[in-house]
Structure 1
Amino acid sequence: MSTAANTALPMLKGYRVLDLTQIVAGPTCTRIMAELGADVVKVELAPFGDRTRIGGLKSRNPDHKGSSRSTYYFQHNHSKQSLALDIKHPRGLALIKRMIPKFDVLVENFSPGVMARAGLSYEALRALNPRLVMCSISLAGQTGLLSQKPGYDYIAQAYAGITDLIGSPDGDPSLITMAIGDTATGMTAAMAVGFALLHRERTGEGQHVEATLLDTYFQMHEVAVPRVALRKGYVPRRTGSQHPDGGPTGVFRCGDGTHLSLAILPHQWNAFISALGMPELSEDPRFATAALRRDNNEDIKAILEDWLAGMGTRERAMAALDAKRIPCAPVLTLNEAMAHPHLRDRGTVRKVRDDVIGEFDIPGFPAKFSAWQPPERLRASALGEDNEVVLQELLGLSPTEVQGLYDDEVLVRDPLLTRRAHEKV
């Protein structure tokens, strides 16, 4: 098959995913699979659906009043179908159980124990579909001392020893105020599901996999864990804008008041001092080894920022550093990053359009494939927009049966859909 033909065939086409998640971590996992071609049915809990539907930006058009569409929801849930029902209602729960044999994957991020109490434990679902891959995403796992503790990204960040290392040495710990852990956990979960599906293709058996915010965050300690384990009494400390191992690696002030980020490994020291035009630093005993440069990092920082001040502008300093292939970058605002031609050209920043909200940007797909390209147009369903399609196609329910579910408030949908339906009549 040619590469051109491959680009037209999404890699996960033919797989069905039942999405029982909300907020960011779980939806990131299922969004990745949806964009790669899987048929993802997102089950949204009545009456309001995913909590992110009330976050982000919404349409200011008064005709759209009451609509459940938001930019927050779109970013994390595009490319999925929306089935909005009351899972606590016996008939709603029965619908979920009836659908299990139709799906390859189920992803959930309820608090541990909720699925079991609803009769949807892995053991119960495996009896309905032995090939099912079930993925549970949580703060700290399905078992263990912290398993019953509620929490989100920032709670896991604190438990993982991450928060304590962020901030000024003489100040309080600082929060990483974006969903780094949530997003990374969603990617971890998507990876785990993919590998479990590969295992199923080889063996025919499904399985239960877990991804947790705490486990994912703890993976982000790249060097400190062995040091703590081996060095008695060693406690990593906050180092502000400088890397604890020196380098110099960190954020530095330029002569024009902007900031520059540098990351210099030991083998790049000679090239670095050459870029500064200071070959004499190779003979300075303070900087003779990587360990000494770490211990005298404040001296290096002072020398570097004096040089940056003398260069005048950040652009001029970067040109000198780039000439010696020294890893450096301007510290951009998000606005500047979103406008950067590299991020635009590669689709890292992606423009989308919603027929209610309008046109806006979201992050692009984080990986590139030679045999597949992301779809040019993306769409996010309104709350309950796909109720009829999902229940009729998967379970064979008649329009009368579906209407009965609406009448009994087992199913719900976006008020805007209801108004538009009445206008057509």
Structure 2
Amino acid sequence: MMKSMLQGYRVLDMTQIVAGPTCSRIMAELGADVIKLELAPYGDRTRFGGLKPRDPAHKGSSQSTYYFQHNHSKRSLALDWKNPQGLALLRALIPHFDVLVENFSPGVMERAGLSYEELKKINPRLVMCSISLAGQTGPLSQKPGYDYIAQAYAGITDLIGDPDGDPALITMAMGDTATGISAAMAIGYALLHRERTGQGQYVEATLLDTYFQMHEVAIPRVSLRKNYTPRRTGSQHPDGGPTGVFKCADGSYIALAILPHQWKAFVQALDAPELLDDPRYATAALRRDHNEDLKNTLEGWLGGFDNRDDALAALEKHRIPCAPVLTLNEAMAHPHLKQRNTVRQVHDAGLGSFDIPGLPVTFSSWKPEKKLQAGLLGEHNESVLRDILAMPDENIEQLYDEGVLIKDKTAPRSIKETTET
């Protein structure tokens, strides 16, 4: 059995921030040899985010918790590919890769002579994936932007927040992460296609397309009901249920999701059989229309418990889908997430030990590595160029001298220093 599912595949990662690095990180963890090509002189911009080393021995290094989370398990090649020599070196690498992932603004790769149409001439088996805000074509294709911009364009932001308040922002890279996962999935299918046909292909993933997929029910409604516009409903689901977030007597909150077939069990949990005869709640549609009344009834019932846990226990006796609204601190400490490696601890020489998320999937024939590492800027320059291009040490030294290659100042810079170290 192969050690890892993607062992033997080589990926050139020309991405930064979150969406692209998420895609390539998944492939790296599953065994692919991912070479993260970082643009000189600074590399991935997330090297300046998150927490940085405070130990004087590591102060000033390019490492950060933000970078580590999204780029562990990869090798870093720091190259000025805007330099003609650097671009020539990059093109020399292309035939040795199975996959290329990039998330520059549309047109950047083409202007550099690195479009898929050009690259497939030198590597017909290449699977190339471009990740962007809104795609390589269309009216929005040239618009710069990040997760929150796609969120707004997709009609997501307008639906978040209190009914009479301002739209609210999902203040985490939800769309970025989901796009990275979608891109990794698509690349896997493209590689399967290549195994069957021998042909590479071009794959696109966009934040806007990914966010638009997240509308689970509203799009057909808007399409069929010409005068219908969904509205913000705050902490309550627009379809009622009751489904949403509800306050307990101790000031904490629970989340509850009641589908129509669970209504009777919910009534039994509340020990309120009169609700079954209440004409306001006779159907799911009527319960939706009287959602505020239901919310008041439920929160009145919750007020009869001293704490959140007792209320949850009463609901769980009737298998009602419910959960405490945990802080992130509480979620990270939850034994379930720890047991399943959803929260996992990593160690970095400069940053120390800290938690990061695990993979969102598991496999019966493969287990994730327990020790994860993220490279310093350009840390693997020598090993990449030796392994892939069999480049002599003197040529590598010359690339350093001419500024084509760069390396973190806390890592050995030259071949001679590497050998001595």
| C-alpha displacement of 1:9 | 1.4
The runs of 4+ residues in structure 1 deviating greater than 2 Å are 418-425
**1:56-71 superposed matches below 5 A:** 56-71=50-65
Q: What one-letter code is carried by the residue in structure 2 that aligns with 1:404? A: Q
2:308 maps to which residue?
314
**1:30-41 superposed matches below 5 A:** 30-41=24-35
Point out where structure 1 has 5 or more consecutive residues left out of the alignment. 1-5
Q: What one-letter code is carried by the residue in structure 2 that aligns with 1:283? A: D
Q: What one-letter code is carried by the residue in structure 1 that aligns with 2:34? A: V
Point out where structure 2 has 5 or more consecutive residues left out of the alignment. none
Note if contact 2:54-2:350 (Cα within 8 Å) is conserved in structure 1: no
User: 1:87, 1:296 → 2: CA distance?
Assistant: 61
**1:2-401 superposed matches below 5 A:** 6=1, 9-401=3-395
User: 1:232, 1:410 → 2: CA distance?
Assistant: 58
| C-alpha displacement of 1:332 | 0.3
Q: TM-score by structure 1 length?
A: 0.97
User: 1:71, 1:391 → 2: CA distance?
Assistant: 27
Aligned to 1:147, the other structure's residue is in SS state coil
User: 1:372, 1:63 → 2: CA distance?
Assistant: 37
Question: Of 374, 382, 403, which aligns to 2:397?
Answer: 403
Aligned to 1:242, the other structure's residue is in SS state coil
User: 1:22, 1:208 → 2: CA distance?
Assistant: 19
User: 1:95, 1:309 → 2: CA distance?
Assistant: 68
Q: What one-letter code is carried by the residue in structure 1 that aligns with 2:341? A: G
| C-alpha displacement of 1:365 | 1.0
Q: What one-letter code is carried by the residue in structure 2 that aligns with 1:268? A: Q
Aligned to 1:360, the other structure's residue is in SS state strand
| C-alpha displacement of 1:285 | 0.2
Q: What one-letter code is carried by the residue in structure 2 that aligns with 1:244? A: P
Change (3 A) 1:121 1:419: closer
Q: What one-letter code is carried by the residue in structure 1 that aligns with 2:66? A: Y
- In the TM superposition, what whole-angstrom CA distance separates every residue of 1:304-355 from its partner, at most 9, and x where no partner exists? 0000001221111101100000000000000000000000000000000001
Choose 8-17 or 415-424, whichever is displaced more. 415-424
Note if contact 2:255-2:322 (Cα within 8 Å) is conserved in structure 1: yes
| C-alpha displacement of 1:384 | 0.3
| C-alpha displacement of 1:423 | 11
Change (3 A) 1:102 1:419: closer
1:3 maps to which residue?
none
| C-alpha displacement of 1:65 | 2.3
Note if contact 2:150-2:207 (Cα within 8 Å) is conserved in structure 1: yes
User: 1:310, 1:366 → 2: CA distance?
Assistant: 38
User: 1:424, 1:357 → 2: CA distance?
Assistant: 25
- In the TM superposition, what whole-angstrom CA distance separates every residue of 1:168-194 from its partner, at most 9, and x where no partner exists? 000000000000000000000000000
Note if contact 2:40-2:79 (Cα within 8 Å) is conserved in structure 1: yes
User: 2:309, 2:179 → 1: CA distance?
Assistant: 36
Aligned to 1:317, the other structure's residue is in SS state helix
Q: TM-score by structure 2 length?
A: 0.98
User: 2:133, 2:94 → 1: CA distance?
Assistant: 25
Note if contact 2:407-2:413 (Cα within 8 Å) is conserved in structure 1: no
| C-alpha displacement of 1:419 | 7.7
Aligned to 1:417, the other structure's residue is in SS state coil
| C-alpha displacement of 1:100 | 0.7
Q: Number of paired residues?
A: 419
- In the TM superposition, what whole-angstrom CA distance separates every residue of 1:121-145 from its partner, at most 9, and x where no partner exists? 0010000000000000000000000
Aligned to 2:287, the other structure's residue is in SS state helix
Choose 407-416 or 8-17, whichever is displaced more. 8-17
Q: What one-letter code is carried by the residue in structure 2 that aligns with 1:87? A: W
User: 2:14, 2:132 → 1: CA distance?
Assistant: 13
User: 1:39, 1:65 → 2: CA distance?
Assistant: 29
Note if contact 2:154-2:211 (Cα within 8 Å) is conserved in structure 1: yes
Aligned to 2:101, the other structure's residue is in SS state strand
Aligned to 2:411, the other structure's residue is in SS state helix
Change (3 A) 1:80 1:423: closer
| C-alpha displacement of 1:361 | 0.2
| C-alpha displacement of 1:38 | 0.3
- In the TM superposition, what whole-angstrom CA distance separates every residue of 1:6-44 from its partner, at most 9, and x where no partner exists? 4x6100000000000000000000000000000000000
Change (3 A) 1:423 1:32: closer
User: 2:365, 2:260 → 1: CA distance?
Assistant: 38
